[in-house]
Amino acid sequence: MIYHIASKTLKFNGTSYSAVSGPYGQDNLPSGDYTVKTSHVVVQGLAPSYCAGDVCFFIPITPQFSCSRHGLGIHPDGNIAGTEGCIGLSTMDAPLFWKAWMNMSLGSRPTKLKVFD
């Protein structure tokens, strides 16, 4: 998986999805490599900011470099536009992303994310 900060796109399984990181909190994600915690996805009890309509999810990501940031993830950009550093998928693309994610077996889901400017 690849997130391009400048174009605000998350590429997953050959498809690009509209997504934003920042400008709140500590702004956007730092460039670098991240681990995607595919077996720690949260789908219940989430605030509206993690939802696009009925689709709610949070996929945790962890930087693979020295960084003081924590609690980062990929989720729908619900509520007020923008995130505190996570990757927030547009409300139109979040359901499409989630469908593609769920159609992929757990063992086939990406465990790596590259973020670049």
Residues 63-80 pLDDT 10s: 999 988 889 999 999 878
pTM of the model: 0.95
Q: Rounded distance, CA 114 to CA 3, Å?
A: 6
The length of the chain in residues reads 117
Q: Is the per-residue pLDDT at 91 higher than 90?
A: yes
pLDDT at 68: 87
Best CATH choice for the domain 2-116 from the list 1.20.120.1200, 1.20.120.530, 3.40.50.200, 2.40.440.10: 2.40.440.10
